[in-house]
Homo-oligomer: A and B are copies of this chain.
């Protein structure tokens, strides 16, 4: 993109919003989902490792690297449930794409908005393979920062047109409905989880509390539904009652990470799960039975961020939606780093 060796293109929050709006949120989600699915299809070509998490009493800071042997990507992301009290995001992120051949970064980008988009796109990719055919109605339990992105990804990829919202804070549901006005969704705000899940073929749980919670109890889960469990994503943070897990067929991104962080941390370490990439490649069937309960126990994996980074890198090239950061030292002679410093003094 840029010939100067010292320069790394940087996509700020403002430029990310401009990029998303210039493409259109729904088209962005659809195209991103294609890249996510493409990368799941070549799952075996990725260098995979559970994310490196630094836990503290207040939250977690994580690094999520991966590589396909040609490009390398990583995301920095935090999770601090109390952050909203001080006006901060509970989840904020940025990421880098780099060239494996020379190790130089080729993109630095905000990933707070991008993570919301890639999480929603991944949920929708999983649901394409797991949700009941012809599903039209989705319940969303937890109507915070992720909710609208989930709604639009499921609309764009699956044709969901009815939403049933529930949040312990009714103003969050109202915010969500207000934001989705004009997107062609029929939105109902519900007074309880029980009411929200009525008639829903897909139930998305996306709450933020860092604790063992029971957003969904077993009696609320009827046969045939698909559960998209997004909020339980670190040790000690779950959303579903364990009895639901025992009735469901469970699909995960990367078992070594999900066993620690996902809903299945509540189960025995050898409880059978299916890897999503095996469904996407056709090695293992997704939904087999209209009465089956399918559960996508989503925690977010590095390859999804990699997909998002390479999608943004491809889209931002040739646009004005990035700045040039002087981030890599570029002396006239690579071995003369000190000389560059001396010449800067002159």
A275 proximal to B (CB < 8 A): no
Say how far A142's CB is from chain B's closest CB, in angstroms.
10
A284 proximal to B (CB < 8 A): no
Whether A83 and B112, one on each chain, are in contact in the complex, defined by CB atoms closer than 8 angstroms, is no
What residues of chain B lie closer than 8 Å to A345, measured between beta carbons? 21
What residues of chain B lie closer than 8 Å to A176, measured between beta carbons? 338
| Whole-angstrom CA separation of A14 from B345 in the bound complex | 11
Whether B52 and A329, one on each chain, are in contact in the complex, defined by CB atoms closer than 8 angstroms, is no
A330 proximal to B (CB < 8 A): yes
Tell me the chain A residues, 2-27 only, with Cβ under 8 Å from chain B: 5-6, 10, 12-14, 17-18, 20-21, 25
| Whole-angstrom CA separation of A231 from B305 in the bound complex | 33
Of A31-39, A65-73, A258-266, A288-296, the one touching chain B: A65-73
Q: Which residue of B lies closest to A109 (CB)?
A: B327
Whether B175 and A335, one on each chain, are in contact in the complex, defined by CB atoms closer than 8 angstroms, is yes
Known: A63-B65, A145-B337, A336-B175. Contact between A102 and B78, CB under 8 A?
Answer: yes
A158 proximal to B (CB < 8 A): no
Q: Mark A142-172, 1 if CB is under 8 A from B, else 0.
A: 0111111100000000000000000000001
A44 proximal to B (CB < 8 A): no
Q: Which residue of B lies closest to A14 (CB)?
A: B326
| Whole-angstrom CA separation of A90 from B336 in the bound complex | 11
Known: A5-B88, A12-B327, A328-B13. Contact between A98 and B110, CB under 8 A?
Answer: no
What residues of chain B lie closer than 8 Å to A54, measured between beta carbons? 47, 65, 67, 72, 100
| Whole-angstrom CA separation of A310 from B113 in the bound complex | 28
What residues of chain B lie closer than 8 Å to A14, measured between beta carbons? 326, 344
Q: Which of A13, A17, A21, A25 is the most central at the interface, judged by chain B CB atoms within 10 Å of its CB?
A: A13
Q: Is the interface of A mostly helix, strand, loop or mixed?
A: mixed
A314 proximal to B (CB < 8 A): no
- Cross-chain contact of A76 among B21, B74, B147 (Cβ < 8 A): B74
A340 proximal to B (CB < 8 A): yes
What residues of chain B lie closer than 8 Å to A221, measured between beta carbons? none
Say how far A113's CB is from chain B's closest CB, in angstroms.
6
| Whole-angstrom CA separation of A96 from B63 in the bound complex | 12
Q: Which residue of B lies closest to A22 (CB)?
A: B345
What residues of chain B lie closer than 8 Å to A333, measured between beta carbons? 175
Whether A334 and B76, one on each chain, are in contact in the complex, defined by CB atoms closer than 8 angstroms, is no
Among all A-B residue pairs, the 4 with the closest Cβ atoms: A78-B103, A148-B338, A112-B329, A12-B326
Beyond the given A47-B54, A148-B338, could you list 17 further A-B residue pairs with CB under 8 A, ordered by the A residue number? A12-B326, A13-B326, A21-B341, A21-B345, A54-B67, A61-B65, A61-B72, A76-B96, A89-B330, A92-B103, A94-B327, A110-B327, A112-B329, A116-B337, A146-B337, A178-B339, A179-B342
